[in-house]
Amino acid sequence: MGAAVADLIVQKYGGTSLADADRTRAVARRVVDTAASGDSVCVVASAMGDTTDDLLRLAAEVSPAPHPRELDMLLTAGERISIALLSMAIRDLGREAISFTGSQAGIVTDTSHGRALIVDIRSTRVLEALEAGKIAIVAGFQGVSSELEVTTLGRGGSDTTAVALAAALGAQVCEIYTDVEGVFTADPRLVPEARKLHAVSHEEMLELAASGAKVLQVRSVEVARNHGVKLHVRSTFSAADGTWIREEDERMLEKALISGVTHTLEETLYRVDGTTPARLFAALAAAGVNVDTIVRTGPEIVFSAPADDREAASQVLDGLSVEWSARDDLGKVSVIGAGMKSHPGVAAKAFETLADADIEPAVVTTSPIKIACHVRSDEVDKAVAVLHRAFELDAPEAERQHA
């Protein structure tokens, strides 16, 4: 997938970090300061601010159903703007920098427009730039397919670009810069006493991201886990350490039992009868429905999917001629932590806590490190708060401080 570069740091900056000229110059200064320490630096940049959303709106004004190929061609313009501007700002600070589109950086994807998967990174040009002492600036969110078409990776795709590049180039760390200071034990907007985690495992972060924590995109964490990439999620607007995402070690298990409580306010729950799982989920996958929870204890199949997929899921179910119903009044609250693998009683404590708060889950699912409860949307905030308090995630030990 590539060759290693000694003492390399990959940094990714999101749209809020590059929202305007002043913030772009501030990012340039941070990148130059990193390079001044002697490290090679490869930067992955998202489109500035709301550029991608603005381009999507423009496409919708021009065409009621934009062609996927042309939509990808349009959307990749946002990152090309940000990488060129960032490169200019870095050069003005006295460092050599060169920008690359996804295709120029050798990011090869499959042929799916709008949600392409990275299949290879042919990083020759990026390597040459780094070996020449230049700062390489790569456009996130985009690549080139095996059929030489421009593709995009879907929402959060710049995270995936950064982690895949870090894996291909053998980076010592991939720093994800965003507008929050790291990963917290719960959403601080719901739980003001939530604490910033010092370290979480790849597996925990996968569950956190899939269960509502929006700080990282799930695919990027999967790539990091599969290739052993160490991640550091931190704020663009602060010099403080953020959250390290790394291989699990005993110190994580010795600290707080639970790493966090996550939530989604809306998740549609479906009950289906009259078909097989193979037929049902093949049809949902073909329609692009992102199925989350699946439960089956008899003929009935229960599954959940994001509220945004409601129309697509309904069309699939109607087309299958099955009996089905849906609840749109539910959200999901999840308790996550690697420590629960070796500590019995976590589930009992979670259910007892919810019962004491008069909250009755509609569906419960578990994994070795997660307990997920679908509860009424108007009870989600309360459920997060009581579970956070019950597992003492407001205590200093919850931060898991260790080097």
Q: How confident is the model at residue 76 (pLDDT cuts 50, 70, 90)?
A: very high
Classify domain 260-399 at the CATH superfamily level.
VC0802-like (3.30.2130.10)
Domain spans in the chain, listed from the N-terminal domain onward: 8-179, 260-399
Does this chain's domain 8-179 share its CATH topology with 260-399?
no
**Mean pLDDT rounded to a whole number for the chain:** 92
Q: Rounded CA gap, 92 and 135, in Å? A: 13
Which residue type sits at 317? L
One-character DSSP codes across 35-50: HHTT-EEEEEEPPSTT
Burial of 286 (0-12, 13-18, 19+ CB in 10 A): exposed
Report the CATH architecture of 8-179: 3-Layer(aba) Sandwich (3.40)
**Residue 284 predicted with pLDDT over 90:** yes
HSE-up of 321 (CA within 13 Å, CB side)? Answer: 0
Say if CB 332 and CB 383 are below 8 A apart.
no
For 236-258, the pLDDT digits (tens) are 998 889 999 988 766 655 555 78
For 156-175, the pLDDT digits (tens) are 899 999 999 999 999 999 99
- What residues contact residue 241 under an 8 Å CB cut-off, 6+ apart? 182, 198, 232, 234
Angle (CA) 82 85 88, round 5° = 150
The pairing of beta strand 173-178 with beta strand 8-13: parallel
Of 182-196, 250-264, 366-380, which range is least confident? 250-264
Say if CB 201 and CB 370 are below 8 A apart.
no
What is the Cα 140 distance to its own chain's centre? Answer: 14
Q: What is the pTM of this model?
A: 0.88
